[in-house]
Amino acid sequence: MNIRTLLFLFILIPIMFFGILLVMLINLFDHSGNAFHKIAAWWGRFSASLFGISIEVIGRENYSTEENYLVISNHAGMADIPLLLGTMNLNLRFLAKEELGKIPLFGRALREAGYVMIKRGQNRDALKSLLAATKVLKSGHSVHIFPEGTRSATGELLPFKRGAFRVAQAGGAPVLPVTIIGSHLITPKKSLKINKGKIRVIIDKPIQPSSFDSVEELMAACSEAITANFNRYRNN
Q: Would you give per-residue pLDDT tens digits along the chain (236 residues)?
A: 688 888 888 999 999 999 999 999 999 998 888 999 999 999 999 999 999 999 999 999 999 999 999 999 999 888 899 999 999 999 999 988 888 888 988 999 999 898 988 876 657 777 788 888 899 888 889 999 999 988 888 889 999 999 999 999 999 899 999 999 999 999 888 788 899 999 999 999 999 999 999 999 999 999 999 999 999 999 87
Residue range(s) defining the domain that contains residue 54: 3-233
Q: Provide the pairing of β-strand 92-97 with 116-118.
A: parallel
Please state, for a pLDDT cut of 90, what percent of the chain lies above it: 62
Domain of residue 111, CATH code: 3.40.1130.10
How many domains, the chain?
Answer: 1
Question: What's at 232, amino acid-wise?
Answer: R
Classify residue 63 as left (phi > 0), alpha (psi -120 to 50) or beta: beta
Neighbours of 198 (CB within 10 A): 13
Question: What's at 12, amino acid-wise?
Answer: L
pLDDT at 233: 93
Q: Is the dihedral of CA 102, 129, 15, 29 positive or negative?
A: negative
Separation between Cα atoms, residue 143 and residue 84, nearest integer Å: 12
**What is the pTM for the complete model shown?**
0.92
Q: How many residues does the chain have?
A: 236
Provide the 8-state DSSP code for 9: I
pLDDT in tens, 42-91: 999 999 999 999 999 999 999 999 999 999 999 988 889 999 999 999 99
For 85-104, letters b (16+ CB in 10 Å) and e give: bbbbebbbbbbbeeebbeee
pLDDT at 97: 84
Contacts (Cβ under 8 Å, ≥6 apart) of 85 = 37, 40, 41, 43, 44, 92
pLDDT at 122: 58
Contacts (Cβ under 8 Å, ≥6 apart) of 217 = none
Separation between Cα atoms, residue 198 and residue 186, nearest integer Å: 8
